[in-house]
Amino acid sequence: MRRLGRLTAGLAAVTALSVGASGCVTVHGELEVLPGATESEAAQALEDFTAAYNEADKAYDPALDADRVTGSLGAINQAGLKARRKTGPGGNAAHKPLELTDADFVIPKKVGWPRWFLADTDSNRDEDGGKLDTRWLLVFVRTGPDTPWKAAYLAAVAPSRVPEFRKDADGWAEPVPSAETDEVLATAPAELSRTYTAYLEKGAPDVFAPGATTSGWRDARKNVRRAGFSYQYIDQPLDEGDFAPLGLRTKDGGALVFFSSRHFERQTAAEGLRPTVTPDVRALLTGEVKSTLTKERVSSQLVHVPERGDGDADKVSVLNRLPGLVAAEGS
């Protein structure tokens, strides 16, 4: 799997150069515990993101919202627009403006930079013609006083699965420290990306509740030979810089945590066959597909981490997973 190294190089470089979203950076001597944003700043950040997103989606131009996205959402958004620009150079004829309304802002207090907040919104993109109601949860991050707010995470969740957050007397939320240990929570939030990717590859540590994105996905990948093709999978943690996990304490003693991961799927054809290359894959393809096709995806997960206890009550529940193709390589 040496070719996988070349696929990871670009994203790894971005990660290495970015500012840690879970660390504390002191700017202009700010050492106080302060809210990450005001309500008006949060509302403006959401408005700016939505406007940029719609412009970029209408034109299929990643440059139009590049300064409003970051982290896993940014990687997925930018690669998707790049691909669609190649498959639809005239822009998005079916563009429907995204609308994010009824916003509730959950703003944690913390020291220094980067700062961040959660926007709990209603969107006009509900599935099933509006029959399946969801809330769009977006995490916005700002790395310094002179930088714009950027959306780093997005998850669509049923309203009943959005927990109540722990807040102080002034209404400010409590962030989960990056050094939170499993003496408090069932699983350390800072280790979730490594824990998740290790679970997918080895089945351990077994800390996740059964479901389509945990046990179901792992079981589905056990069939590595299908109709003349063999499959290999590699899962890698993605937890530094702009991809760092971000979490908020919930009233039940647990935490709601966003984290990222990276996944590779390599398809190798038997003699006389060739992997199928779809238009969206071809748009992001390097090399020529002769007998192998390797796809790289970035994924963001939203999970509820319960308070440390006993047995099944300890299991981490995956509330949403958002994957996106970011690169492909043929050989």
Summarised one tens digit per residue, pLDDT across range 58-75 is: 999 999 999 999 999 999
Smallest Cα–Cα separation from 330: which of 264, 277, 272?
277
When pLDDT is averaged across residues 207-233 and rounded to a whole number, the result is 93
- Distance (Å, rounded) from C-alpha 56 to C-alpha 76? 13
Tokens of 246: 């971000």
- Distance (Å, rounded) from C-alpha 146 to C-alpha 98? 27
Cα 254 to the center of its chain, rounded Å: 20
Q: What is the pLDDT of residue 177?
A: 79
Q: Checking DSSP bridges between strand 100-106 and strand 115-123, what pairing results, if any?
A: antiparallel
Is the peptide bond preceding residue 205 cis, with omega within 30 degrees of 0?
yes
Question: Residue 20: which pLDDT band, with cuts at 50, 70 and 90?
Answer: very low
Q: Between 71-87 and 39-59, two packed helices, what is the crossing angle to 10 degrees?
A: 20
Locate the DSSP E strands across 61-189.
100-106, 109-111, 115-123, 135-142, 150-157
Smallest Cα–Cα separation from 259: which of 165, 329, 328, 322?
322
DSSP 8-class letter at 315: P
* End-to-end C-alpha distance for the chain, whole angstroms: 12
Contact yes or no for 329/286 (Cβ under 8 A): yes
Question: Residue 21: which pLDDT band, with cuts at 50, 70 and 90?
Answer: very low
Smallest Cα–Cα separation from 146: which of 107, 110, 175, 115?
115
pLDDT at 95 over 80: yes
Contact yes or no for 294/275 (Cβ under 8 A): no
The percentage of the chain sitting over the pLDDT mark of 90, rounded to a whole number, equals: 79
Mean pLDDT in the chain? 89
131 vs 292 pLDDT, higher one:
292
Q: What is the pLDDT of residue 22?
A: 37
pLDDT at 3 over 60: no
How far apart, in Å, are the Cα atoms of 320 and each of 12, 56, 120, 259?
24, 24, 14, 11
pLDDT at 100 over 90: yes
Q: What is the pLDDT of residue 227?
A: 85
pLDDT at 182 over 60: no
DSSP 8-class letter at 238: E
Tokens of 244: 């760092």
When pLDDT is averaged across residues 5-23 and rounded to a whole number, the result is 39
Q: What is the pLDDT of residue 223?
A: 81
Name the β-bridge partners of 155: 137
Contact yes or no for 90/111 (Cβ under 8 A): no
Name the strand (E) or helix (H) holding 257.
strand 255-269
pLDDT at 225 over 60: yes
pLDDT at 28 over 70: no
Residue type, 162: V
Q: What is the pLDDT of residue 311?
A: 63
Say if pTM beats, i.e. exceeds, 0.85: yes
Q: What is the pLDDT of residue 19?
A: 31
pLDDT at 331 over 80: yes
Residue range 293-323, pLDDT digits in tens: 999 999 999 999 999 875 667 899 999 999 9
Smallest Cα–Cα separation from 186: which of 208, 212, 160?
208
